[in-house]
Amino acid sequence: MMLDWNEYRKQLGATIADMAKLSPDTVRGYAQISGAGAKTGHLDGKTRELIALAVAVTRQCDGCITVHVDAAVKHGASREQIMEAMGVAVAINAGAALVYSARVMDAFTARTAEAPPANLGPA
């Protein structure tokens, strides 16, 4: 296993509890934002957790991964459902790379159309 995810989740919880003592409004504000979606009732908990996992992968947040895997399992998410959500994350990240690659090519076209490149000396 890459990481002891269960132990990491416990350590993270303890550290955030310590942070809450130092800055209670910060942690309380995060908790309020985090719980806001659940109050609308438009998505069930499992769906919210699967979305959270896809975002966690996109943001490369190990803490988010361990917390939201735990919550997804508690909401009944299967291994297959989690993997499908990961497939969405992979596709969107690849899509974002493709879109930003188009931006690079557009910037290159704009740069080379405005003036000749600087002479960098002999190759």
Q: DSSP secondary-structure letter at 43? A: S
**Architecture of the domain delimited by 43-112:** Up-down Bundle (1.20)
Domain boundaries, the chain: 43-112
What is the distance between the alpha carbons of residues 96 and 102, in angstroms, rounded to a whole number? 10
Largest pairwise CA distance in the chain: 65
Does residue 102 have a pLDDT over 70? Answer: yes
Per-residue pLDDT at 117: 60
Helices 79-114 and 62-74, packing angle to 10 deg: 140
How much is the mean pLDDT over the chain? 93
Per-residue pLDDT at 115: 66
Identity of the amino acid at 11: Q
What is the distance between the alpha carbons of residues 31 and 25, in angstroms, rounded to a whole number? 10
**pLDDT tier for residue 1 given thresholds of 50, 70 and 90:** confident
Does residue 120 have a pLDDT over 80? Answer: no
Question: 99-111 burial, b if ≥16 CB within 10 A, otherwise e?
Answer: eeeeeeeeeeeee
Residues 53 and 24 sit within 8 Å (Cβ to Cβ): no
Q: Record the tokens describing residue 112, joined without a space.
A: 């080379």
Does residue 114 have a pLDDT over 80? Answer: no
Tens of pLDDT, residues 58-68: 999 999 999 99
